[in-house]
Structure 1
Amino acid sequence: MTRRKVFDPDTVPPSFWRGNQVQTALARRDIGALFRSYLDAFDDCTQTQLALLTEHDRSDVSNWIRGTRHGQVSDIGVLTRIAEGLRLPDSARILMGLAPADALVSSVRDEREMSTSEARAAGDPDRRRLDGSDLTSVRIAICGSRAAHVNANAMDAAVRALARLVMVRRLRVNHGPIGIGIEVMTHVADHYQPPGLRGAVAIFGRRNVIADAEYVVLVGGGEGTRAEADLAMAMGKRLLPYGASGGTAQVVHQQLHRNPALTSWMPPRSLVTLDQCAHLDPGVSAVDVEQMTDDFVDMLDEVIHTDQGESLA
């Protein structure tokens, strides 16, 4: 009797893990949706083989797939067995909330401590600009605070979504000693626990925070954030305000809307999303706030891809 060959997860192409449905399932830790996508994509993999690969009973796998067992999983042990069994790449592990397997490549420590050669060595060959260089040099400034007239739910959602983006895209982040930027880095440390993140180095002085950043992301904020935004405009920086978070971010969005020259660098589709993420209706649900925040951060990700000429192939 011929034994059926076990599916080899190393044959899964990187493009599978970049699919929208798969990335959504990973971010939500929805194992049922992840397994369904996996089986749909690979005909030679079965529920039994998924069970063997991830060290689970076949009945557990079947229940996840059929939806009779709650798809969202929080147990780190279960998630780790799935990640290791399916050979998840670091970007997929991070989306799921696990530390990357390759600590060197995925370190989010302050890269001012790294030499140019180290930073280049940390580059991912799958993340290349069209000119062949990598994206390890991309730096964003995250500015904002929980000042008066901000939307607390939108601020909370922004911290989570921006932390995920920083980890997945390995962006270099400028931030001050207080405010939303340090919240994002703290969230990265607490929830993703990357081995290389030993501390977040704050930058003093508003001009210093934005001086070498290519993009300035505004979330909420008061007078201090407005000063940073004014400096960024004077220096020709590319501003991306999350208007729905309120405060300075909403004021700056209105200013950008009145002066199209300030957004002329943005792709039209991204500009539409920026406008759609400018306001929250009263009484909007937490789910809708989360979705709008994700839309804003997805737009930020797309803008960086387009503007930097990154090849996603």
Structure 2
Amino acid sequence: MGRENQTLVTEFVILGFPSLEKFSSLLFVVFLTIYLFTVTGNILIFLLVRVDHHLHTPMFFLLNNLSLLEICYTTVIIPKMLSGFLSQAKNISFTSCMVQLYTFSALGAAECYLLTVMAYDRYLAICKPLHYVTMMSNVSCLKLAAGSWVSGFLSPLLPVILISRLPFCGPNEINYFYCDAQPLLKLSCMDTFVTEASISILASTLILSSFVLTVVSYIYIISTILRISSATGRQKAFSTCGSHLTVVIIFYGTIVCMYVQPTAGYSLDVSKVLSLLYTVFTPMLNPIIYSLRNKDIREALRKLIGRRNVFPMKISDHCMNLGWKRAEIKIICVH
């Protein structure tokens, strides 16, 4: 069941969205617009953080890594999908399919780790402000970010190897819009129970552990915010965390539904919808939810386009205007 059987299928055909074939031109325009917005928005964030020294903090350094990851994430999927809308040639070689599967899985795993690190950063800033500078130094921040990338690219090695060693000796049409584990396993001409179980256990360990750590961090963050005496201050703090938490829930919710359950648990049509949420729409929301609603990013954008800041305000003054006491300012404004 090794190399000799793999050569029986030398390429796959990615069907994409066969039931929407008559809307191919419209879908091309829609997804091209989404892709351009995603790439442009995340590049803008990346540049703003690089050029504005006020944004050279751990939080924005991690955000920069997330923006870079989102650009790579969507680029692995959308360009190939766009070519399928315009061309009848939807073939992809066996090797290219495995490379796409591995790269996409690695970037997805890296995002899980990076979201966990970002939650940890916010936990330290809000709940451990006196230790924040030492625990989240430049070196520590760089190690955490690098660890997210390295761990992400190591995590899918075994699942991809298991899938690549399966015999594919029959149909080669992938009823999906990219090479993913679920549709590939359906094409194998042998029982894939052991492979499915192994992938499910590995995916569950990665996704659930990252998700639980993120949730625990937010429990402590919310508990600290609730101790703020001002209702206005609590509302603003919850609003800031709520935007980030919304994207975390969308991202983790969809991948938990897809990869923690056994592969046969969902139809491919349902899986396509779930995949679109975290492969296409969540990266598009990143510039809006994570950054463009952030005051510091808006200020950096105004400087970049030459507009002057009309209402300069010290951070401490801003916190006092939210109704926080000086003891609370030490907790919140460090971040």
Q: TM-score, normalised by structure 1?
A: 0.28
The structure having more radius of gyration, on CA atoms, is 2
More strand as a share of residues: 1
More helix as a share of residues: 2
- Which has the bigger relative contact order, CA under 8 A and spacing at least 6? 2
Q: TM-score, normalised by structure 2?
A: 0.27
